[in-house]
A and B are shown apart, each in its own frame.
Chain A
Amino acid sequence: MILTLVLQALAAAPPAPSPPVEQALGVELTRAMEGLRLPDAAPPYLIQYDLLDGDVATVFAEFGALVDEDVAPYRSLRTEVRVGSYTLDSSGFSSFGTSNGIVGRRLPVEDDLVALRREIWLATDQSYKGAVENLARKQAALRGLTDPRPPDYTTAPPAVAPFEATGTIPAPEADRLRGLVVTLSGALAGTPGVEVGQAIARDWQGRRLVLTSEGTRVWRATGYTVVRVEATTRMADGTEQRDSRSWIVRRPADLPPEAEMLEEVRAMGAWMARLPTASREGDYLGPVLFEGWAAQEVFSQLLVPELLGTPAELSDGPPRNGARARLGRRLLPEGWSVVDDATEPGPLGAYLSDHEAVAPRRVELVEDGVLQDLLMSRIPNEERTQSTGHGRSLGNDRRAAMPAVLTVTPPRVVGDARLRKKALRLAAQTGRDYVLVVRRLEPPVLTGDFDVVFTGEGPLPGLTEPYEAYRLYADGREEPVRGLQFSGVDRRALKDIALAGNGVGLVDTLDGPPGVGRYNIGPTGGVPVSWDVPAILVRELELTSQPGGEPRAVVPPVVR
Chain B
Amino acid sequence: MAGVKNRPLSPHLQIWRWGPAMAISILHRVTGNGLAFVGLGVLLWWLGALVGGEGAYAAFTTHASAWYGRVVLIGLTWAFFSHMCSGLRHFVLDIGAGFELQSNNFWSVITPIIAIVLTVATWATILR
Asked if A and B bind, the verdict is no
